[in-house]
């Protein structure tokens, strides 16, 4: 199995496994995926994080190929056991709003031989890498591509999930994968939906967790627009104010009883937002 990605290891504060732990992780992944007689290069570690000790993509057939196609899954091995984590991923496709071609789907989850989830693999490049390449001069990110990514984030990811009653804040560039050939955006690493899903399914009338996450998301939105479109933060704030887009997003998935402030049509708000931004930024 290939070594950890050197770029991830060099730029992340997260700790990669020791040699002995890597061998244990490989054995666990082989068992979970049902890989038979694995070669040394049967898979590659494509990431790790605060909660995940490894994310491994197989290069050989697995037990999940019938449903997801050869090479169509990754296995995420967790640092700690969590029954709530496993329950969430096992129920993922039945939770309202999460079954979408724009959201990475959970395939299987379990606690043995270590806590894990099997996820569909999403082809493409992370938006974070696109932005890094643009900053370094490797290639440019056109305003048109940035607008397409932002539009899909708002209309194909945020609107359907928030409309179903969810809230999440972690739509940072590293969690967005862009398939340039299909011009398709997908949200990955979807563990952050769990608090929202638990509140929505368990106490739907309570918005404590979801209001908190919405507040963080709306505060981060201007920065997301700024980096994707290469426009001034002040112009973004003006366009958001004139379009009432924050109010449109706030109203998604809420009953009249839970609405606070003004809310309106997202499509209308987006139209005004783009017009205002074009006027103030000149494009």
The predicted-structure confidence for 208-264, as pLDDT tens digits, reads as follows: 999 999 999 999 999 999 999 999 999 999 999 999 999 999 999 997 655 555 556
> Which of residues 65 and 122 earns the better pLDDT score?
122
Q: What integer is the mean pLDDT of 99-107?
A: 95
Same domain, 143 and 262: yes
Q: What integer is the mean pLDDT of 10-21?
A: 60
Q: Does residue 100 lie in a domain region?
A: yes
pTM listed for this prediction: 0.87
pLDDT of residue 221: 94
Q: What integer is the mean pLDDT of 251-280?
A: 81
Same domain, 144 and 109: no
Q: Does residue 96 lie in a domain region?
A: yes
Q: Does residue 1 lie in a domain region?
A: no
| 101, 120, 139 - which closes a domain | 120
CB 58 within 8 A of CB 35: yes
User: In sequence order, what are the residues at sequence separation of 6 or more whose Cβ sits closer than 8 angstroms to the Cβ of residue 240?
Assistant: 221, 222, 246, 273
Same domain, 247 and 147: yes
pLDDT over 70 percentage in the chain: 88
pLDDT tens-digit profile of 126-171? 999 999 988 887 777 888 999 999 999 999 999 999 999 999 988 8
* CATH number of the domain residue 101 falls in: 3.30.200.20
Same domain, 158 and 54: no
Omega into 236 within 30° of 0, i.e. cis? Answer: no
| 120, 152, 171 - which closes a domain | 120
> Which of residues 268 and 138 earns the better pLDDT score?
268
Same domain, 151 and 226: yes
| 71, 97, 120 - which closes a domain | 120
Same domain, 237 and 130: yes
CA atoms within 13 Å, Cβ hemisphere of 205: 1
pLDDT of residue 9: 36
Q: Does residue 39 lie in a domain region?
A: yes
Same domain, 105 and 152: no
Mean pLDDT score of the chain, rounded to an integer? 87
* Strand blocks (E) in the chain: 43-47, 52-58, 73-78, 106-110, 116-120, 125-126, 176-179, 184-187
Q: Does residue 13 lie in a domain region?
A: yes
Same domain, 200 and 254: yes
pLDDT of residue 2: 39
- For 253, left (φ over 0), alpha (ψ -120 to 50), or beta? left
Same domain, 93 and 147: no
Same domain, 197 and 259: yes
Q: Does residue 15 lie in a domain region?
A: yes
Q: Does residue 167 lie in a domain region?
A: yes
Residue 29: give the domain boundaries. Answer: 6-120
Same domain, 83 and 163: no
CA–CA gap between residue 56 and residue 44 (Å, rounded): 6
Same domain, 53 and 144: no
pLDDT over 90 percentage in the chain: 69
Q: Does residue 164 lie in a domain region?
A: yes
| Number of domains within the chain | 2
Q: What integer is the mean pLDDT of 80-88?
A: 96
């Amino acid at each position: 199995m290939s070594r950890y990605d050197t770029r991830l290891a060099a730029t992340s504060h997260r700790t990669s496994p020791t040699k002995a732990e890597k061998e244990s992780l490989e054995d666990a992944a082989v068992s979970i995926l049902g890989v038979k007689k694995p070669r040394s290069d049967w898979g590659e570690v494509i990431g790790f994080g605060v909660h995940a000790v490894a994310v491994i993509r197989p290069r050989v057939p697995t037990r999940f190929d019938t449903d997801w196609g050869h090479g169509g899954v990754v296995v995420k091995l967790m640092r700690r056991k969590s029954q709530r984590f496993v329950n969430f991923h096992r129920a993922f496709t039945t939770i309202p709003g999460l079954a979408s071609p724009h959201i990475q789907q959970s395939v299987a989850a379990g606690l043995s031989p270590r806590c894990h989830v099997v996820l569909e693999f999403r082809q493409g490049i992370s938006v974070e890498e696109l932005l890094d390449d643009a900053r370094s001069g490797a290639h440019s990110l056109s305003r048109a591509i940035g607008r397409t990514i932002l539009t899909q984030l708002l209309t194909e990811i945020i609107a359907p999930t928030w409309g179903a009653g969810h809230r999440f804040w972690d739509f940072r560039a590293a969690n967005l994968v862009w398939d340039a050939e299909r011009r398709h955006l997908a949200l990955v690493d979807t563990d952050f939906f769990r608090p929202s899903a638990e509140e929505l399914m368990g106490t739907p009338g309570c918005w404590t967790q979801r209001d908190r996450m919405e507040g963080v998301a709306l505060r981060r939105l201007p920065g997301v627009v700024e980096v994707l479109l290469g426009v001034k933060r002040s112009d973004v704030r003006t366009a958001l104010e004139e379009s009432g887009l924050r109010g449109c997003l706030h109203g998604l998935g809420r009953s009249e009883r839970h609405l606070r402030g003004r809310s309106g049509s997202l499509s209308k708000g987006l139209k005004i937002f783009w017009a205002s931004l074009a006027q103030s930024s000149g494009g």
